[in-house]
Homo-oligomer: A and B are copies of this chain.
Amino acid sequence: MKRALTVIHALGLLLVVFSLTYLLPLATAFIYGDSAMMTDFALAIMWTAMAGALMWLATRRFKGELSIRHGYLLVATMWAAMPAFATIPLLMLLPGLSFTDAYFETMSGMTTTGATVLVGLDNLPPAINLWRHELNWIGGLGIIVLAVAVLPLLGVGGRQLFKAETPGPMKDSALTPRIADTARNLWVVYVGITLACVGLLKWAGMSWLDAVCHSFSAMGLGGFSTHDASIGWFDSPLIEFILIVFMLIAVLNFATHFLAWHGRTFKVYLRDAEAVGSLVLILTSCLGIAIFLWWQGVYPEFGVALRHATFNLVSIATSSGYASVDYAQWPMFAPMWMMFLTAIAASSGSTGGGIKMMRTLVLVKQAGREFLNLLHPAVVNPMKIGGQVVPNSIVFSVLGFIFLYFMTLATLTFILLISGLDFISSLTAVLASVNNCGPGLGVVGPASNYQGLSDFQTWVCTFGMLIGRLEIFTLLILFTPAFWRR
Contacts and interface: CB of A to CB of B under 8 A. Distances in A.
Interface of A: 68-69, 154-156, 292, 331-333, 336-337, 340, 363-364, 366-367, 369-375, 377, 392-393, 395-397, 399-404, 406-407, 410, 413-414, 417-418, 420, 422-424, 426, 473, 476-477, 480, 482-483
A482 B336 contact: no
Query: Which one of A370, A410, A476 has the greatest number of beta carbons of chain B within 10 Å?
Result: A370
A252 to B, nearest CB: 24
A13 B420 CA distance: 56
A369 B477 contact: no
Given A155-B377, A374-B156, A482-B372, A406 B404 contact: no
Contacts of A377: 155
A236 B473 CA distance: 49
A337 B418 CA distance: 10
A483 B483 CA distance: 46
B400 A473 contact: no
Contacts of A423: 332, 336, 424
Nearest to A406: B406
Chain A contact surface mostly: helix
B420 A331 contact: yes
A399 B331 contact: no
B397 A370 contact: yes
Given A331-B417, A367-B407, 10 more contacts: A68-B375, A332-B423, A333-B418, A337-B414, A340-B414, A371-B476, A374-B477, A395-B396, A402-B403, A423-B424
Contact of A403 (B363, B374, B404, B414): B363
B366 A399 contact: yes
Contacts of A399: 366, 399, 402
Given A366-B400, A418-B292, A374 B473 contact: yes
Q: Which 9 pairs of residues, A with B, have the shortest CB-CB distance?
A: A370-B400, A333-B417, A399-B399, A363-B403, A155-B374, A333-B418, A367-B400, A367-B403, A332-B423
B473 A417 contact: no
A155 B379 CA distance: 14
B418 A340 contact: no
A402 B337 CA distance: 20
Contact of A332 (B340, B364, B422): B422
Given A333-B414, A333-B418, A375 B340 contact: no
Contact of A373 (B155, B369, B483): B155
A477 B402 contact: no
A417 B289 CA distance: 13
Contacts of A333: 414, 417-418
A371 B332 contact: no
Nearest to A360: B403
B374 A154 contact: yes
Contact of A404 (B156, B332, B367, B483): B367
Given A396-B366, A399-B399, A400-B366, A414 B336 contact: yes
Contacts of A68: 374-375
A394 B155 CA distance: 24
A403 B426 CA distance: 23
Given A154-B374, A482-B375, A369 B336 contact: no
Nearest to A424: B423
Nearest to A485: B375
A69 B403 contact: no
A267 B418 CA distance: 38
Nearest to A479: B371
A269 B289 CA distance: 52
A108 B97 CA distance: 55
A164 B392 CA distance: 24
A292 B483 CA distance: 34
A430 to B, nearest CB: 13
A375 B404 CA distance: 17
Contacts of A403: 363-364, 366-367, 402
Contacts of A155: 373-374, 377
A402 B473 CA distance: 19
A353 to B, nearest CB: 18
A106 to B, nearest CB: 28
